Structure 1
Amino acid sequence: MNDQKVRTRAEIPAEDKWTIENVYPDTQAWQADFEKLQKEAEALPTFSGKLNHADQLLAFFKADEKVSRTAGKLAEYANRRADEDTTNTEFIALRAKINAYLSELAAKEAFFEPEILSYPEGTVEKELQEQPALEVYRFVLEQILRKKPHTLDSRSEQLLAAVSDCLEAPSTAYDFLTDADLTFPEIHNEQGEPAELTESTYHRFLISKNRDVRREAFLALFQTYGKYQNTFASLLTSSIKNFVFLAKQHHYASALECSLAPNNIPTKVYHTAIQTAHTHLDSLHRYVRLKKRLLHLPDLHMYDLYVPVIDVPDKHYTFEEAVQTVLEGLSPLGSEYLDLFRKGIASGWVDRYPNKGKCSGAYSSGCYDVPPYILLNFNGDLNSVSTLAHEMGHSLHTYYSTKNQPYIYSDYSLFCAETASTTNEALLIHHLIAQETDRDRKLYLINSQLEQIRTTVFRQLLFAEFELYTHEKAEQGIHLTAKDLCAFWHDLNKQYYGSDMTVDAENDMEWARIPHFYRDFYVYQYATGYAAANSFSRMILQDGKDTVERYKGFLKSGSSNYPIEILRRAGVDMETAKPMEDVIHTFDDLLDMLESAL
């Protein structure tokens, strides 16, 4: 849409909105279901102390599913309506109401896992044999029992739960410092006029064609972080020590093992990803050299990395053109997938355009009894087209999982979540590059894909390596100062980007800008998810129908097995170096294409 004026919600045509009214026709219907949920949930605590009886365990699972499905439906409706217009107090109130109740519901269910873990060994297996209908729950029960060696006595667990807020203090303080208290000096824009620098505007200055603008923004931002280097170091190392403490208390060999254990992901996956990146750093060095050449710069600095190397006129897509473009890109996935894609568009899954008060960004969200609705803020650029492909990847993953799994396994892990969406993006960009005849636009598309791999794979693995270093030092009882953190960050960047990159001293504080470091061992999943998606897209394009069927098997699996096993069955083994090597081969192929087109 090219409308200069942002419309109100009422001004958006019905055909451009999601059909959320199909979930509940009005607030009164929602309220009736909410009251029903409250009554039914009262039965859950009555199962406490009875779960060692097979029939009672089965009855609890059935009662909990009924309650959870209703709660999910209520939450989806309230959250989607609230995101349509964040000034609408009616739906904001509904969201607050259900979110508050979900905490109450979690408390009513809280006895379940500790009680299962309290039983003598063999109790659950005996129940499974006594009651055949429990067999469907075998895997979820096995997942709980895996925690037994890492579960403390009830008093110790209660004590750790009681101090959880205290242990989160470094993360909370970091958020306040970076979101509210940290301010940056005024800089100058391309016209030489004073301009405000914030975290949200920084990227805009970093992609400026004016190098002086990029440099001034870079220096202003990181010199400001540098003024608080000791505070940032204290917050980060305290957060890491807290996590290491919890991992040790729960008898894990390392913080890394503790973080990966819930999804049964071997630590080998983490180490292999980093080692593979190291083996192929020459590919990233080659990209840096090529970028330096394309920008016609005598030296390349960290603040030059994000500036576009190719200028092309903006290409505008209508929403209908975007849908058609994505369908063409996803054609290797076959007619069934494409038909479901069309069904989603026709059935009103997608809330398409911006309106006053609408939640920013984009997402896909659904549950067992609610379609996977997509929020977009479509503006007609290439990124909007790619976002449609990405979010529909999530939505069709949800659709396949809910249609093929029982409720208990209908969701999927974060480790798998980005794979489905990124596979769609990879197929789309391959199609766009292949069919583009304009030289500059083809170069632009190739470079945008190179940048995505640089930032999603190499950069995230640099982050992952930094995380591993900081946690291992904490486990060894070594206190890291701001100077230590900056020195290691500097060395990592020199190693990853190579001799053609000038690693500016100011960039040594970049670790302080990464909020994900307060979510232990989180960022590596961006790289592994992208690598898995790239492997799928390469196999789909090369092998066709057989791979598509295995890929759809992955989409249908939900959480019926551990994520590593689900991916392995579909043909992508994340315990080997191959998926990461595949994505670097794609990176090399794109570099070849870029060089040959120049």
Structure 2
Amino acid sequence: MSEQVQRTDVPVHEQWDLTHIYEDGAQWEADYNRALDLIQVVAAFEDQIHTAGQLLAFLTKDEELSFLYEKLFVSTSLKLDEDTRVTESQARVDKAKSLGVKIKSATSFFRPFLLSMEKETLDAYIAQEAGLDYFKKDLYEEFKYKAHVLSKEKEEVLAQLGEVIGVPKTVFGMINNADIQFGEVTGENGEKVTLTRGMYSRILESHNRERRAEAFKAYYKPYVGLKNTIASTLGSSVKNNVLFSKMRHYESPLQRSLFGDNVPVSVYDNLIQTTRENLSPMYRYVAYRKKHMGLDELRVYDLSVPLVEDFELKMPYEEAYETMLKGLAPLGDEYIGILKQAKTAGWIDVRETKGKRSGAYCWGPYGTHPYVLLNHNDTLDSLFTLAHEMGHAMHSYLSDANQPKISAQYTIFVAEVASTVNEVLLINYMLQHTDDLKLKRYLVNHFIDTIKGTFFSQVMFAEFEKIVHEKAANGEALTADSLSEVYRALFQAYNGEDVVLDPELQYGWSRIPHFYNAFYVYKYATGIASAVSIASRILEGDQEAVQSYMTFLKSGGSEYPLELLKRTGVDLLTPEPITKLLSLFDSLVGQLEAL
């Protein structure tokens, strides 16, 4: 569907149901007021925790407030994403964000207090008060931050700066989702149509090169026009990361980002280095693409075209969902049963509509169920996006159902494993269940491009983030020109000399929302490497692998991510999962050439 479709035109069964969180605005306001009251309650504990009972009382109220805030913020954010132009929704999100700042300010005393405590005192409290056992793991976890927590006064100031610190990300979000207009391009029948993000991805897969070039220029034009403004927002975000890393005594923003997951910097460096040393299969694929397409010059807008001419797989949403269920059948009856229920239970918002947030995600508060935002347009990419996001949804659902609040939330690091296992299982199912050589070739090509997008592109983005943060740390200015110079060089290095770079390409950094959540994207790459390893064992019929994977999905955040993955047989401290994925990519390129 086009973005011009109104939300009222979409069938109810293809919309999520946010009344499962709050039936109406009055309920939201009631919880908002309850949260304000709880803020006063938790703030009153400052300088008043002298016994095990008082510590338990604070932690209990603090957890209640935390999950109430999550419910308030998530529900109103989901509502805004239905239509980012609605000022009432914008105002309520701002109200929720302000509430979050008040909560941080009211509770900012606790970490310095806890870290000023002797471990022996905490041990004694936990021994005295049985209820503290529930909070034990998190309390001891806090002690690793001892060197990185500031004084009570400084923590209060940082808490009050919360909204200001988030401005670069907020401003970019409004530019990217609400303000950017892509102008008109030529439609399939020669008519002029307004370009949308969903349409752009479809046109890039078109075999009409003139339309691809036109859409590429139209898509990048507003970003190029705003390059200095967006360089300012991204530069400010990076400088914030550098500043707060120094203030909190981390070796670097990268180390600070990995610290919470207990992931050593060597994992990040190993990912980049191992990939850099194995780029020849990518160059081989790009050279094959250029030759197969019969092009004198291979351009960026030529890189997404399926290499099977006159073949387009259109799959309506209903059929896509059924195909996904069949592909994920190796995960067992429990998994499939929940997926079947999710389709009709108000979890999923399916269609692209006017003003709706772009892309796709899964999100939801503990105690309700996950919500999945899609912009489904009946393509093969839409099918795999569906499987990807439902992987997140199942991970959330199973974690929430099997873990208490305190350990239900898994980290982003392992989140991308669950989503990508689904994609790998699905593509294997589709390859195994067709004798059509044209379709098989199409699917192998798609699998290659999935790895290219989920692994190689994300490693490139990860290296970009590392470089620009190092530049900022060294006092170098982050201008549109300097950011573009880094981006262009990396794109050429990762894709090879066979790709001729259009001038617009160097501004690719200006359109990536994930850069405002620093050092996030590398987890897509480690995720697909881990997923390939897990899925390969499942596809071999290893029932122990299925059980260990289901246990992983139900484990939430009960352990550090690297430990959770080790239980599935994946060790990211070694190059092995990365080299295994790169070997698969090389094999797939060989299959494509043979087919």
- TM-score (normalised: structure 1): 0.85
Quick one: distance in 1 between partners of 2:486 and 2:88? 51
Range moving further from structure 2, 190-199 or 257-266? 190-199
Look up the match of 1:468.
466
Structural mapping, 1:102-141, within 5 Å: 102-141=100-139
User: Residue 311 of structure 2 corresponds to which residue in structure 1?
Assistant: 312
Equivalent position SS for 2:260: helix
SS of 1:51 mapped into structure 2: coil
Q: Which runs of 5+ in 2 are unaligned?
A: none
Q: Which letter does structure 2 place at the counterpart of 1:274?
A: I
Q: CA RMSD in A?
A: 4.0
Shift of 1:531: 2.0
SS of structure 2 residue aligned to 1:147: helix
Distance 1:181 1:29 in 2: 31
CA spacing shift, 1:393–1:27, aligned 2, 3 Å:
same
Separation in 1 of the partners of 2:170 and 2:369?
Answer: 34
Partner of 1:277: 275
- The answer to whether the 8 A contact 1:52-1:124 is kept is no
CA distance in 2, matches of 1:267, 1:428: 32
Q: Which of 544, 547, 550 in structure 2 is aligned with 1:546?
A: 544
Give the letter aligned to residue 595 of structure 1.
Answer: E
8 Å CA contact 2:182, 2:221 repeated in 1: no
Which amino acid is 1:296 matched to?
G
Relative to structure 1, is the Cα distance of residues 305 and 257 closer, same or farther in structure 2, using a 3 angstrom cutoff? same
For residue 567 of structure 2, the aligned residue among 566, 569, 574 is 569
Alignment-mate amino acid for residue 316 of structure 2: Y
Measure the CA separation in 2 of the matches of 1:290 and 1:336.
43
Q: Compared with structure 1, are the counterparts of its residues 432 and 108 closer, same or farther at alpha carbon in structure 2 (3 Å cutoff)?
A: same
Distance 1:325 1:480, change over 3 A: closer
Retained in 1: the 8 A contact 2:101–2:162? no
- Would the aligned equivalents of 2:206 and 2:212 in 1 still touch at CA under 8 Å? yes
Candidates 277, 288, 291, aligned match of 2:289: 291
For residues 144 and 577 of structure 1, the distance between their equivalents in structure 2, rounded to whole angstroms, comes to 30
The one-letter code of the counterpart of 1:304 is: D
What's the CA shift for 1:97?
6.3
Q: Which amino acid aligns with 1:249?
A: M
Q: Deviations over 1:266-296 (max 9, x none)?
A: 1011101101111210110111012112211
Deviation of 1:252 (Å): 1.2
Aligned equivalent of 1:527: 525
Q: How does 1:240-279 map to 2 (within 5 A)?
A: 240-279=238-277
Structure 2 residue aligned with 1:499: 497
Q: Per-residue deviation at 1:408?
A: 0.8
Letter in 1 for 2:547: E
Change (3 A) 1:420 1:55: same
Are 2:434 and 1:436 aligned?
yes
Instruction: State the Cα deviation string for residues 197-236 of structure 1 (Å, max 9, x = none).
Output: 7878755654453434444555677688678777766665
Amino acid at match of 2:584: T
- Shift in CA distance, 519/403, structure 1 to aligned 2, threshold 3 Å: closer
Label 1:42 to 1:376 Cα distance change in 2 as closer, same or farther (>3 A).
same
Instruction: Say which is worse superposed, 355-364 or 420-429, in terms of deviation.
Output: 355-364
CA contact (8 A) 2:105 2:160 kept: no
User: For 1:161-217, what per-residue CA distance to the aligned partner results, in whole angstroms no more than 9, with x for missing partners?
Assistant: 566666666666766777788888987778887777787875565445343444455
Comparing 53-62 and 282-291, the one that deviates more: 53-62
Q: 1:352 to 1:206 in 2, by over 3 A?
A: closer
What amino acid does structure 2 have at the position aligned with 1:517?
F
Task: Report the alpha carbon displacement of residue 41 of structure 1 after superposing the two structures with TM.
Answer: 5.2
Stretches of structure 1 lacking an aligned partner (at least 5 in a row) = none
Task: Decide whether aligned partners of structure 1 residues 274 and 131 sit closer, same or farther in structure 2, where only a CA change above 3 A counts.
Answer: same
CA drift at 1:139 = 2.0
Q: What displacement does 1:529 show?
A: 2.0
Counterparts of 1:262 and 1:123, CA distance in 2 = 24
Alpha-carbon distance change, 42 to 486 in structure 1, aligned in 2, over 3 angstroms: closer
How has the CA–CA distance of structure 1 residues 18 and 523 changed in structure 2, closer, same or farther, with 3 Å as cutoff?
Answer: closer
Deviations 1:524-564 (A, max 9, x none): 12222222222221222125211111111211111112222
How many positions carry a matched residue from both structures? 593
Distance 2:130 2:66 in 1: 23
Superposed, 1:446-461 pairs within 5 Å as 446-461=444-459
Distance 1:457 1:302 in 2: 18
Alignment of 1:313-352 (within 5 A): 313-317=312-316, 319=318, 321-345=319-343, 347-351=345-349
Flag the 1:337–1:242 CA change in 2: closer, same or farther, 3 A. closer
Compute the displacement of 1:421 (Å): 1.5
For residue 493 of structure 1, report the CA deviation from its aligned partner: 2.8
CA distance in 2, matches of 1:303, 1:252: 41
Alpha-carbon separation, structure 2, partners of 1:479 and 1:347: 50
Question: 1:8 matched to which residue of 2?
Answer: 8
Cα contact 1:553–1:570 (8 A) shared by 2: no
For residue 18 of structure 1, report the CA deviation from its aligned partner. Answer: 5.0
- Equivalent-residue separation in structure 2 for 1:73 and 1:225 (angstroms): 34
Q: Is the 8 A contact 2:364 2:371 kept in 1?
A: yes
Cα deviation for residue 329 of structure 1 reads: 0.5
Shift of residue 134, structure 1, vs aligned partner: 1.5
Change (3 A) 1:166 1:95: closer
Change (3 A) 1:254 1:543: farther
CA distance in 1 between partners of 2:16 and 2:536 (Å) = 33
Amino acid at match of 1:495: A
Report the residue type matching 1:427 in the other structure.
L
Could you tell me which amino acid in structure 2 is paired with residue 58 of structure 1?
A: L
Separation in structure 2 between the aligned mates of residue 511 and residue 530 of structure 1, nearest angstrom: 22
Aligned partners of 2:161, 2:75: CA distance in 1, in Å?
34
Residues 44-55 of structure 1: pairs in structure 2 closer than 5 A: 44-55=42-53
Q: Deviations over 1:328-373 (max 9, x none)?
A: 1011112222222234346554455677887665443333321224
How far is the alpha carbon of 1:396 from its aligned partner?
1.5
2:411 corresponds to which residue?
413
* 1:144-169 alpha-carbon deviations (Å, 9 max, x no partner): 22221012223344455566666666
The answer to whether the 8 A contact 1:260-1:266 is kept is yes
State the alpha-carbon separation in 2 of the partners of residues 453 and 355 from structure 1: 29
Q: Counterpart amino acid of 1:137?
A: F
Query: Are 1:332 and 1:544, in contact at CA under 8 Å, matched by a contact in 2?
Result: no
SS of the residue corresponding to residue 367 of structure 1 reads coil
Comparing 59-68 with 85-94, greater Cα deviation is found at: 85-94
Cα distance change on mapping 1:5 and 1:19 into 2, 3 Å: closer
Distance 2:152 2:547 in 1: 46
Q: Distance in 2 between matches of 1:375 and 1:301?
A: 32
- Whole-angstrom CA distance in 1 between matches of 2:279 and 2:592: 18
Question: In the TM superposition, what is the alpha-carbon distance from 1:466 to its structure 2 partner?
Answer: 2.1
Q: CA shift at 1:35, angstroms?
A: 5.4
- Asked if the contact 1:490–1:505 (Cα under 8 Å) also holds between the matched residues in 2, the reply is no
Deviation string, structure 1 residues 437-495 (Cα, Å, up to 9, x no partner)? 22222222221221121122111111211222222334344556666554443433332
Amino acid at match of 1:451: D
Q: Which amino acid aligns with 2:529?
A: A
| Distance change >3 Å, CA 71–CA 317, structure 1 → 2 | same
| Cα pair distance change 1:420/1:499, threshold 3 Å | same
**2:39/2:102 contact within 8 Å kept:** no
Q: Partners in 1 of 2:6 and 2:393 — Cα distance?
A: 27
Larger CA deviation: 189-198 vs 53-62: 189-198
Q: 1:281 to 1:234 in 2, by over 3 A?
A: same
Q: Aligned equivalents of 1:419 and 1:537: distance in 2?
A: 10
1:90/1:273 Cα in 2 relative to 1: closer, same or farther (>3 Å)?
A: closer
Partner amino acid for 2:564? I
Q: AA paired with 2:289?
A: K
Check conservation: 2:549, 2:568, Cα contact below 8 A: yes
- How far apart in 2 are the matches of 1:233 and 1:82? 26
In 1, Cα distance between equivalents of 2:170 and 2:492: 31
Q: Secondary structure at the match of 1:463?
A: helix
